[in-house]
Chains A and B, each alone.
Chain A
Amino acid sequence: MTQKNRLQNGGRIDRSQSLTFSYNGKEYQGFKGDTLASAMLANGIDLVGRSFKYSRPRGIVAAGAEEPNAVLQLGATEATQVPNVRATQQELFNGLVSASTNGWPSVETDIMGMVGKLGGNLMPPGFYYKTFMFPQSLWENYETMIRKAAGLGRSPKKNDPDSYDHINHHCDVLIVGAGPAGLAAALTAARSGARVMIADEQNEFGGCLLSTKETLDGKPAAEWVASVVAELSAFENVILLPRSTVNGYHDHNFVTIHERCTDHLADIAPALQARQRMHKVRAKWVVLATGAHDRPLVYGNNDVPGCMVASAVSTYINRYGVVPGNELVLMTTNDYGYQAALDWHEAGRRVAAIVDTRTAANGSRAQAARAKGINIILGSAVIEVQGGKRVTGVSIAPISQDGNKVTGAIKALSADTVASTGGWSPVIHLSCHTGSRPIWNDEIVGFLPGKTLQKQLTAGGINGQYELAAALSEGFAAGQKALSELGLPAVELVLPKAKVAVQDAPMSLFHIPHIKPTSQAPKQFVDYQNDVTAAGIELACREGFESIEHVKRYTAMGFGTDQGKLGNINGMAVAAKILNKTIPETGTTIFRPNYTPITFGAVAGRHRGELFDPKRYSAMHQWHIKRGAKFEDVGQWKRPWYFPQGAESMQDALNRECLAVRNSVGILDASTLGKIDIQGKDAREFLGRVYTNAWAKLAVGKCRYGLMCGEDGMVFDDGVTACLGDQHFLMTTTTGGAARVLEWLEIYHQTEWPELEVYFNTVTDHWSTLTVTGPNSRKLLSELVDYDITNENFPYMDWKQITVAGVPARVFRISFTGELSFEINVQANYGMHVWEKLFEVGAKYSLTPYGTETMHILRAEKGFIIAGQDTDGSVHPHDLGMSWCVAAKKPFSFIGKRGMARQDCMREDRKQLVGLKTKDPKQVIPEGAQGVFDRTAQIPMPMVGHVTSSYWSENLGHSIAMGFVKGGLSKMGESVFYPLADGSVIEAEICSPIFLDPKGERQNV
């Protein structure tokens, strides 16, 4: 049998299902039911990585989420690479490929190890601040070297082939943790008919009962677990979530759970299944039954592989049938620790000694150890261990009862495994997430959950109740409490009987003294993942970092992916000792989401690729695709940008489209414009208040352009509004501004002018808008309408209800190109029909579809602004040369009136929008270019405004531009210069922005 540490019997593994896995390129065997860590230990793998700073060899320390060292890279292929996987939580599957992440060039022969050995004192805390800060120019080199040497795992370079899921839940009671307390709480709540969810990070329910030899009602505890799970599964209102880590506890009992659905099956999820799922739970009550983590002691060379936390030793033996060594020395400050030695002994391997730091031990477990003839050394501690890549021996010495010094001779013992425990640390992380500060408790030597504002209950180990019987009854009580708070009936529950152990008080000890001062003793690690030592914390304190928050930041304690689950309390104790304070005086420890690292995939869920952001389409979108349109994003809309023909370049296509509109007829899909239906007797008054211009006299059948400003007087949207009936208007907005304008109207109506009788409704999606424009547009349209659309009968700025291609339509004679134009609005279900009919009859006029870019050029030829392109929230209508659109004399004020009358808004040298004609007609100024009046000025040159719109105009045969120039409206004919990045300078003349048809005759025919 190659699994040299595997027991013949026992554990929750299935020895009939052998699984092959690889670690650092070598193949090994494990069993179904193993974690990667238990399988590695079974195979005698001692080394799982190199430490972050000193590059020391590291082995597996723990058996769960708190593991700091066995953080591996997983993945058989490039696409399935996953960094930062805790081997202690990764279930083994056949074909699993893993590798250590720390250690360069390899974990066995490490180049940085030399630095660590030679330079122990060269890398004190604050080392990075002190050493790599100067010269700053070299930081990038340092960083590359450090990262390569430290190795923090790597992300895949190929797309993740898996899919991820999000799901929402609501429940009466969410129980976190399916150990004895959690199961008792869940069963209580479920029996009352409550909607219950229970989540646990392990692959099966049971919590600590999966790793214990304790009995319930005289039977193995696992039998009780199985019966509870079976009963819970039968309730329709109960959701059981194994393999699901409750990662975040947020305000209002909103809880996020990370479920690993298929990580235990293979590298890639089976077809149709999501690899991981994020559960978003809104719970009326939350019961935290998260248990406790065993806290290791801090002693010399306590990071040599073979040093473990005591309870993990029991877990590997009892749950996985793996004894992670041959000869154990156990160091404990409490009765619970004895269990590891008892289990080790029972597994048939040698316990060299139990070293109890207390001077007496007469509890049940100590007596049991004594009865088995195990050597118990009282009042002593393991002050250091020997060994490089594996423990070879320990040094034991008597210590004073205040735990501060060694009091006697050192005794050497041979051992390959050192288990240590300083007592349990309640898993209070989730209770901290909502802002609750934990409270130190001297009796249990640990932090307990603090006061909470949430509807939160706690039960079991998290409360410092570690005995099985106590955990069960606390779980039951929490369940009953939740039921009574929810107004649900109480239930009966006969709890199974557990043996009650006699306990001696634990000793409050964290940092084991050494014969040498801490700074000269062998390294005593507090935070394994970040290589923070007791000496480092003492140094930080001596250097003036007295707040534990500063100590943490200076030493990086608790900053790793394990968030200091094992080390934080020990670190605080070390700081408290040197500062001569108590632990609570030193500060408290706060944990933030997430409890354990979570994949980006689970965060993203289905919101990736095509579903990353909604794409909005008009009713004619399929036609645009068939016609080969290039699309532009406008808000979430996909709008045709231009329609290239054959191998046409973009500029060629734009030139062709622009000429077609000016010379014959073009068509634009304008359906994306925001459209708001406004009804009510005060609709007209309301328009007058939100637009800058006058609306009182707009007659039914007429349209008008309007400008909308914020309270500050700055333009934020514009569009044409038509008077459909005396109390009925249709407002259009920019494509991107539609939702914001509707909200703006509603806010003003609901909060400022509720007395106005007016209602707003969005009809953006209801109408398709087809803009037919160009000198031939009337000829084309008249072939499809039932109405006289001559200029006399249907003049500019009128709208008519007529039938187009058999479809009832509202047609607006408004123009954004300056050409004769008809904007045809039909119910969107018929948009495609009308669009296609227009092309059927439009062939003889060479009807040309054009996109947003051509639209931009055509409107710029006419000097029409685009809100959001030629405005940026800092320009008012006068800046735009649009004073004609401000009706200062309206009886009621309008939004922005006072804003634009501020002193600063009246300055004559404000940046004003003007036209720009380049001296060289072929030159097109880049949009965004900054103008200067004096091209010879020294850098930094005084800038006088930027170019907002700039195009080549094929119609005019020269470039055109609009831009802001300080005092530009009174500088017509003067020059402004645009120095470019390449050193060249473009000179332009300030002119009217209306480059074509200044009298507006073309649209009026």
Chain B
Amino acid sequence: MSDNTTAQETVTPIKAAVMDQLPSAAIQGQSPLHHADLDSLAQQGPKTGGVHLREHKLLCHLTLRCNQGDEAQKAAVERVLGLALPLSPLTSVEKGDYSIRWLSPDEWLILAPGLEAFDIETKFRTEMPGHYSLVNSSGGSTVLELSGENAIDVLKRSVSVDLHASVFPIGKVVSTTFAKSTAILRRKGDHTFELIIRRSFADYIWLWLQDTSREFGLVIDA
């Protein structure tokens, strides 16, 4: 009992409460699509089809809100992530496992390896000057990758934005209505798209994707 009275009582009030939210590796996290058992479907399901679906689960999702006109803040982001904030609307930047998506004039979504959330948050709290907020939303969403020659056909049934390569090039990102839910949609390749969806809507979107891809054949990739 005595050992545990540390952090809360000795630290003076801090600007924001940052905590390492992950347990030890012994405890397995369950992604929003855990119940769909995509791993088994990947093993047992069809291997060819016009649409491929892969979940990139349990990643680090951080929502950053700050002032895009603040040079010191932009420099701090670059020091922490090794990536510059994308300032053009609807764009994204990516380097290795790190990426940043423009969401709104003062809002970005940062994706990083799942175990790094606390490290990144801590670094931000030391490096970042001025008024900003950084929020861990890793538990609240998951990443789905749709690929294959008919991926675009599934998306045209799901979102109303123009996906033609001339106006939706690789790297473009939009937050948009997806069927009756929402998604952050980004183009990763000619035939590869990435959806970031909310946990509570994940099952709905999973059902939707199965329905819209049925005529093309859906392949689950591990």
Interface residues of A (CB under 8 A from B): 163, 165-170, 195, 272-274, 280, 282, 606-607, 610-611, 613-619, 621-622, 637, 672, 677, 679-681, 700-701, 724-728, 757, 759, 761-768, 786-788, 793, 800-803, 806-808, 810, 826-833
Contacts and interface: CB of A to CB of B under 8 A. Distances in A.
Contact of B137 (A273, A681, A766): A766
A728 B22 contact: no
A833 B30 contact: yes
Contacts of A701: 8
A788 B137 contact: no
Contacts of B199: 619, 765-766, 828
Contacts of B23: 803, 806-808, 830, 833
Given A761-B65, A806-B27, A677 B133 contact: yes
B7 A619 contact: no
B84 interface: no
B20 A808 contact: yes
B21 A724 contact: no
A828 B61 CA distance: 13
B27 A615 contact: no
Interface string B120-161: 000000000001111111111100000000000100110111
A803 B24 CA distance: 11
A617 B27 contact: no
A637 B204 CA distance: 11
Interface string B211-222: 110110000000
Contacts of B26: 806
B31 interface: yes
Interface in B183-221: 198-204, 207-208, 211-212, 214-215
Contact of A273 (B28, B211, B215): B215
Among the interface residues A622, A679, A833, which one has the most CB atoms of the partner chain B within 10 A? A679
18 contacts: A168-B161, A611-B207, A614-B180, A614-B201, A616-B200, A616-B204, A617-B203, A618-B200, A726-B15, A765-B137, A765-B200, A766-B136, A802-B4, A806-B26, A808-B21, A810-B19, A828-B199, A833-B23
Given A166-B157, A802-B4, 15 more contacts: A169-B156, A170-B164, A610-B207, A615-B203, A701-B8, A724-B16, A727-B16, A759-B65, A759-B132, A787-B5, A806-B26, A808-B22, A827-B139, A829-B138, A831-B139
Nearest to A612: B180
Nearest to A804: B23
B162 interface: yes
Interface of B: 1, 4-5, 7-8, 13-17, 19-24, 26-32, 34-35, 58, 63, 65, 106, 131-141, 153, 156-157, 159-162, 164, 167, 179-181, 198-204, 207-208, 211-212, 214-215
Nearest to B142: A829
Given A680-B133, A761-B133, A788 B65 contact: no
Given A170-B162, A763-B140, A764-B200, A827 B30 contact: no
B34 to A, nearest CB: 8
Contact of A677 (B32, B135, B179): B135
Contacts of B14: 700, 725-726, 728
A554 B141 CA distance: 58
A550 B104 CA distance: 52
Nearest to B134: A679
A187 B65 CA distance: 49
B111 to A, nearest CB: 15
B211 A606 contact: yes
A20 to B, nearest CB: 29
A984 to B, nearest CB: 44
Nearest to B21: A827
A787 B208 contact: no
Contacts of B162: 170, 282
Nearest to B130: A757
Contacts of B131: 680-681, 757, 759
Contact of A806 (B24, B35, B135): B24
B7 to A, nearest CB: 7
Contacts of B5: 787-788, 793
Contact of A759 (B8, B133, B179): B133
A167 B157 contact: yes
A195 B140 CA distance: 39
A243 B133 CA distance: 53
Contact of A168 (B140, B160, B208): B160
A272 B214 contact: yes
Contacts of A617: 200, 202-203
A829 B59 CA distance: 11
Dominant SS at the A interface?
A: mixed
Nearest to B136: A766
A579 to B, nearest CB: 47
A763 B182 CA distance: 15
Contacts of A163: 211
Contact of B31 (A274, A677, A728, A829): A829
B140 A765 contact: yes
Contacts of B136: 766, 827
Contacts of B156: 167-169
Nearest to A165: B157
Among the interface residues B4, B35, B200, B211, which one has the most CB atoms of the partner chain A within 10 A? B200
The 3 closest A-B pairs by CB, nearest first: A765-B140, A766-B140, A829-B29
A369 B216 CA distance: 55
Contacts of A831: 30, 139
Contacts of B21: 808, 826-827
Contacts of A607: 179-180
A614 B179 CA distance: 9
A611 B208 contact: yes
Given A272-B215, A757-B131, A829-B29, A808 B19 contact: yes
A616 B201 contact: yes
Contact of B198 (A170, A273, A765): A765
Contacts of A810: 19
Contacts of B179: 606-607, 611, 614
A753 B50 CA distance: 50
A788 B4 CA distance: 7
Nearest to A806: B23
B157 A829 contact: no
A280 B140 CA distance: 32
B17 A728 contact: yes
B17 to A, nearest CB: 4
A602 B17 CA distance: 51
B140 A724 contact: no
A945 to B, nearest CB: 37
Given A727-B16, A761-B65, A828 B139 contact: yes
A827 B133 contact: no
Contact of A614 (B32, B106, B181): B181
A766 B132 contact: no
Contact of A613 (B22, B132, B159, B180): B180
Contacts of B22: 808, 827
A829 B15 CA distance: 26
Among the interface residues A607, A616, A701, which one has the most CB atoms of the partner chain B within 10 A? A616
Nearest to A829: B29
Contacts of A827: 21-22, 29, 136, 138-139
Among the interface residues B23, B27, B132, which one has the most CB atoms of the partner chain A within 10 A? B23
Contact of B139 (A170, A677, A768): A768
A788 B160 contact: no
Contacts of B31: 829
Among the interface residues A701, A826, A827, which one has the most CB atoms of the partner chain B within 10 A? A827
A898 B33 CA distance: 48
B71 to A, nearest CB: 18
Given A766-B139, A793-B5, A806-B24, A195 B164 contact: yes
Contacts of A606: 157, 179, 208, 211-212
Contacts of B16: 679, 724-725, 727-728
A759 B67 CA distance: 11
B137 A761 contact: yes
